[in-house]
Every structure is written in structure tokens, then in C-alpha cells.
């Protein structure tokens, strides 16, 4: 599940670290597999004014130290926010704190207030993401990276100390460019946000299958994650269970890709909503 990070995520107030920690520990004790956070400088709800948001990587470090079993990840970090060598260093450190439970989710970002207000480079977003992926993947893979790219220059740069393992990269997005980058560089891909499986989702799965074919890659080598939006926490648990079960039925008929993991965004992100999700999951056991 995604954790509360901004005012819109919770019961009408800005969450703090105690709220995030409590939700993560509740999710872990309830048997969920992973917890995820967004990465923004400001939150921009579709139907409201800008809001404050917690800083992603500070929170992620605390989550890595506070949890014991669940995967922790970013959904997603914008590649333009940090120098890729710094990002790789941060990821290696958080992965070490967690004992090898990090998934580094990356995306191109969305044009909006945070790019304009904070002077972040919002041009050529896919090209920037591709260069970031190449550098981060090289550094996390133990290579000494030398590149004179369009946006970054490195000369014989390495991560010291190196990470204890190859940290998996997740790329999020649905456009042709994002699919190409995920198929070329990532170990996991996310498409969001969705409800019950529909033609829109099936079209995206089929498009990713084609992107993998163009890269000469086995579809089984890419972990497919789907962001599932649950905006009515009072819906009957059996109805939600049927939605979850429908994802398990996706497979060869939908372009050769099944769904490996649902990342649920609850609204509101409260322990009561989480308990209803767990009840729905348990109906499938």
C-alpha cells in the first residue's frame, strides 16, 4: 500500500512521522508485502490548492529502520530532482539500512508547480530520465561510470562502498517512452492508477509486452505492478475481494503479461481503511 504523505492522504490533516510509522507497522503486522511513498516538493491535488508533503528519502530511511519484513519503495522518485550519482548513493544507503528491502522507483515527473516554483529542469523529461537510469543502473551494478551525457558528466565514478546487492529499479509510466525505458532498464514496471481490470489496463499490458519484445526481453523477467485506487473505504469487502481476484486472472490472454503485485492507494489512508483491505484479501485465502 501507499503511505500517507500529504494532507489529502489522511483524515483531514497533515500526517507526521508518527502517522506514517504507525501505518507502515500496521501494514507489516497485517501481512502486506510492501509499503510505498511518493516523492514531491509540494503536493498538487487535482481538485484543490497545493499542499505540504513530507520529504520522501528522509521518511524512507526511517521506514527502513523501523520495519523488519516489508519491501520499501518510492512510487516514484522524479529523476530530475537529484543528481543520479547522489540518488544511487542514497539508494545504496537506504537498502543497507533495510537489510536489502528497497525498490528504487523512478519516473520522469509531471509538469506543474514544483518544477516552476523551485526552478527544477522540466524540459526533456524522458531524456533526463533515460540518462539517470543509465547512470544509476551502472553505479548500483558496481561499474565505474564515465559518461559525457546531455545533462550529466561523470569520470570514473563509483559507489564506495558498493551496495550489498543489485537494487531493483522500477520505472513508472504508460507512454511509449516510459514503456521503452522500463523494458530496457528496469526490473519492475508500474502502471497507475486503476480500478477493476478494464480495457485501458489490458491495452497498457499489451503495449508493455510489445515493448519487451522490441528489446528482445522475456516478459517473465519484468515484475508488473499495478496501482489500484480504492476511493470508497466503505465498499463491501467481498466487492473489493472480487476486484483483487480479477487481477489474478490476467495473463497470457492480455499480451503475455500477468500482474505480480497490486499497490493499493486507500482513500483515506487510515488504519480502518487498511483493515477493510486486509479483510478483503483474507476472503481470497
Kindly report, residue by residue over 65-115, the tens digit of the pLDDT.
Answer: 999 999 999 999 999 999 999 999 999 999 999 999 999 999 999 888 889
Is 114 in a helix, a strand, or coil? Answer: helix
92 or 120, which is more confident? Answer: 92
Q: What is the mean pLDDT of the chain?
A: 93
By the 8 A CB rule, do 53 and 38 touch? yes
The predicted structure's pLDDT at residue 256: 58
Give per-residue pLDDT as tens, 12-65: 789 999 999 999 999 999 999 999 999 999 999 888 889 999 999 999 999 999
- Burial class of residue 146 (count of CB atoms within 10 Å of its CB; 0-12, 13-18, 19+): exposed
The predicted structure's pLDDT at residue 253: 46
End-to-end CA, the chain? 19
Q: String of b and e for 156-179 (b: at least 16 CB within 10 Å)?
A: ebebeeebeeebbbbbbbbeeebb
Residue 186: count other Cβ atoms within 10 Å of its Cβ.
22
Using only C-alpha atoms, what is the Rg of the chain?
19
Amino acid at each position: 500500500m501507499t503511505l500517507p504523505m500529504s494532507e489529502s492522504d489522511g483524515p483531514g490533516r497533515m500526517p507526521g512521522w508518527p502517522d506514517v510509522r504507525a501505518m507502515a507497522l500496521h501494514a507489516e503486522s497485517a501481512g502486506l508485502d510492501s509499503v510505498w511513498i511518493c516523492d514531491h516538493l509540494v503536493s498538487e491535488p487535482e481538485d484543490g490548492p497545493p499542499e505540504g508533503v513530507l520529504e520522501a528519502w528522509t521518511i524512507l530511511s526511517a521506514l527502513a529502520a523501523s520495519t523488519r519484513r516489508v519491501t520499501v519503495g518510492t512510487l516514484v522518485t522524479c529523476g530530475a530532482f537529484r543528481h543520479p550519482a547522489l540518488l544511487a548513493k542514497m539508494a545504496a544507503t537506504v537498502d543497507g539500512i533495510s537489510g536489502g528491502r528497497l525498490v528504487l522507483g523512478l519516473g520522469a515527473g509531471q509538469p506543474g508547480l514544483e518544477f516552476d516554483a523551485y526552478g527544477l529542469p522540466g524540459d526533456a523529461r524522458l531524456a533526463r530520465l533515460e540518462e539517470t537510469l543509465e547512470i544509476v543502473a551502472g553505479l548500483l551494478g558496481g561499474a565505474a561510470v564515465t559518461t559525457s551525457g546531455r545533462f550529466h558528466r561523470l569520470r570514473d565514478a563509483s559507489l564506495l562502498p558498493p551496495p550489498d546487492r543489485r537494487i531493483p529499479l522500477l520505472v513508472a509510466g504508460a507512454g511509449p517512452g516510459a514503456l521503452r525505458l522500463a523494458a530496457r532498464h528496469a526490473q519492475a514496471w508500474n502502471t497507475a492508477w486503476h480500478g477493476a481490470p478494464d480495457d485501458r489496463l489490458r491495452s497498457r499490458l499489451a503495449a508493455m509486452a510489445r515493448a519487451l519484445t522490441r528489446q528482445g526481453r522475456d516478459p517473465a523477467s519484468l515484475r508488473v505492478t499495478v496501482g489500484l485506487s480504492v476511493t470508497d473505504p466503505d465498499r463491501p469487502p467481498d466487492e473489493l475481494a472480487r476486484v483483487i481476484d480479477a487481477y489474478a486472472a490476467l495473463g497470457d490472454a492480455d499480451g503475455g503479461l500477468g500482474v505480480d503485485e497490486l499497490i493499493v492507494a486507500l482513500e483515506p489512508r487510515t488504519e480502518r481503511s487498511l483493515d477493510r483491505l486486509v479483510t478483503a484479501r483474507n476472503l481470497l485465502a
